[in-house]
Amino acid sequence: MKTNQAGIALEVCVDDLAGAYAAADAGANRIEYCEDLNVGGTTPALAEVALLSRTLVNADLQIMVRPRGGDFVHSQREIDLICTEIEAFRHLTPTHDIQIGFVFGTLNPDLTVNAAACKQIREAAGDRLLTFHRAIDSVPNWEEAIDALGEAGVNLILTTGKGVAPADEGQGYSTEGMIKLAQRGEKYGLGVLASGGLRPEKWDGGLLEAGFTQYHLRAPWTPEENGKQNSYGSPMRETSHGWTTTNPEIVAGFAGKLAG
């Protein structure tokens, strides 16, 4: 797993090729690649991921595998589709040192973790890094959710911690909540990928002091900064890599904070 010199990993979520390259150049160690962030991200095109697997440098790649926007309660057919897409992505052969893993999240109608689906998806993913996304923040019982994910062999949870404890003052995340999640997941080797509106201008270093080593953010342009919009209506600006919804200045600023 790629990290900075301090052993800290910064993952940036993007929904276009230019954003992936721009974020990696700006200091991201890992790219979460998806389609249409307006709905929280869906499965991207196989051809785009194939290109990234051959050309993305300095960053690993996590692929969102989500068949649609909306809720995270998936039918068995949708779960089978998730597994089929993962198997297709696994056949890609990177031409250099890059790790490719997957991001997913699936719940039962009562919003508990769909443990059977998680085990099926783990099998499809083989030994690849597997992240359960922020659906974890919606579950009614976080202890049971962590146990289910740990027993299924999931590696990371993407979380704000706010489903467990109140948010830190002025922040979009809960340090206390993330600590409790990390402690519960430790026996399974289930780590925490910290998120929740992370921005360099709001960073107080508390999560680093608490021992967290993996961070996730989106870096969108504001509507005032956009030069045009993509097909989903997201603001875009032109960078050295082309038009993108990702602002590399935010990425560089936060990477600098993590570097100390």
pLDDT of residue 227 exceeding 90, the answer is no
Averaged pLDDT, 132-145: 96
pLDDT of residue 93 exceeding 80, the answer is no
What is the rounded CA–CA span in Å between residue 22 and residue 247? 8
In 45-155, which ranges are E strands? 60-64, 100-104, 130-132
Would you say 152 and 115 are in contact if contact means Cβ atoms under 8 Å apart? yes
What does the pLDDT read at residue 226? Answer: 62
At 154-195, the pLDDT tens digits run 999 999 999 999 999 999 999 999 999 999 999 999 999 999
SS (H, E, C) 170-233: CCCCCHHHHHHHHHHHHHHCCEEEECCCCCHHHCCCHHHHCCCCEEEEECECCHHHCCEECCCC
What is the rounded CA–CA span in Å between residue 145 and residue 130? 15
The overall average pLDDT reported for the chain is 94
Q: What is the pTM of this model?
A: 0.94
Name the residue type at position 154: V
List the one residue out of 157, 154, 89 whose CA is nearest residue 122. Answer: 154
pLDDT of residue 105 exceeding 70, the answer is yes
pLDDT of residue 207 exceeding 90, the answer is yes
pLDDT of residue 138 exceeding 70, the answer is yes
What does the pLDDT read at residue 230? Answer: 77
% of the chain with per-residue pLDDT over 70 = 98
Domains and CATH numbers, the chain: 29-218 (3.20.20.380)
pLDDT of residue 41 exceeding 90, the answer is yes
| Angle at alpha carbon of residue 140, lines to 173 and 77, rounded to 5° | 105
- Which tokens go with 250? 């935010």
Averaged pLDDT, 227-246: 82
% of the chain with per-residue pLDDT over 90 = 82
pLDDT of residue 53 exceeding 70, the answer is yes
What does the pLDDT read at residue 127? Answer: 94
The model's confidence at residue 148, banded by pLDDT at 50, 70 and 90, is very high
What does the pLDDT read at residue 20? Answer: 97
